[in-house]
Amino acid sequence: MVVYLQVNNAGVNYNLGSDNSVEFAQKVVATNYYGTKNVTKAMIPLMRPSAAGSRIVSVSSRLGRLHGRRNRLEDKTLREQLGDLDTLSEELIDRTVSTFLQQVEEGSWTSGGWPQVFTDYSLSKLAVNAFTRLMAKTLSDRPEDQKIYINCYCPGWVKTAMTGWSGNISAEDGADTGVWLSLLPDLAVSGKFFAERREVGF
């Protein structure tokens, strides 16, 4: 069986420590969300001729959880829309991101009810998480011999240049769940969010 594998690890973050500047919000969102989305959509047609079991794995973050207690959207209606597969759409995700970026440009983002920690990074990863769920739903209608399974995961606070080498997890340990998802024998798992090889809530 031929299995095509796509791993999305596009990620930038310009905030260190307690800093929460959104000075680079456009670049963060363009790389983390739009980069992941555009590459995924470009690759899917190339994966179509493959046998069943092709996989897409996106590196995301628990900072982008919809229902995190400390770092979530304040707008309950928007949280519900993004969390409900019946109302979730690419247009809704893009509109949410665009609204944030517009408020950054206007200087009004601090009162917009956005995540409180690493705001631009968190929102970009929230968008990745939502897009993962949306694509899993879209791809679920494909014939069995053309299935593509898509999931995302949080590697944790990894000791890399992006975290200023302040992380508490090695790059090898941070990659573990991604490798595990890439090689997961149970191919039917799709549209899920994982950390430390365990499913976590969006």
Return all residues near 113 (Cβ < 8 A) that are at least 6 apart.
Answer: 73, 74, 75
Helix or strand or coil: residue 195? Answer: strand
CA distance linking residue 168 with residue 189, whole number of Å: 29
CA diameter of the chain: 53
Instruction: Give residue 159's pLDDT.
Output: 60
Residue 55 contacts residue 189 (beta carbons within 8 Å): no
Instruction: Give residue 145's pLDDT.
Output: 73
Instruction: Give residue 3's pLDDT.
Output: 54
Amino acid residing at 25? A
Instruction: Give residue 1's pLDDT.
Output: 45
Instruction: Give residue 156's pLDDT.
Output: 66
In DSSP terms, 21 is beta-bridged to none
CA distance linking residue 158 with residue 137, whole number of Å: 30
Q: Which two tokens stand for residue 132?
A: 């993962």
Q: Is 121 a catalytic residue?
A: yes
Instruction: Give residue 187's pLDDT.
Output: 64
> Which domain CATH number covers 182?
3.40.50.720
In DSSP terms, 87 is beta-bridged to none
Task: Tell me how many domains the chain contains.
Answer: 1
Residue of 4, 14, 33, 121 with catalytic role? 121
The model scores a pTM over 0.85 = yes
Residue 53 contacts residue 187 (beta carbons within 8 Å): yes
Parallel, antiparallel, or unpaired: how do β-strands 5-8 and 198-200 relate?
unpaired
Parallel, antiparallel, or unpaired: how do β-strands 148-154 and 193-195 relate?
parallel
In DSSP terms, 5 is beta-bridged to 55
Instruction: Give residue 147's pLDDT.
Output: 83
- Residue 102 structural domain: 5-199
CA distance linking residue 149 with residue 176, whole number of Å: 18
Positions in the chain short of pLDDT 70: 1-4, 48-52, 156-168, 171, 174, 185-187
CA distance linking residue 14 with residue 180, whole number of Å: 29
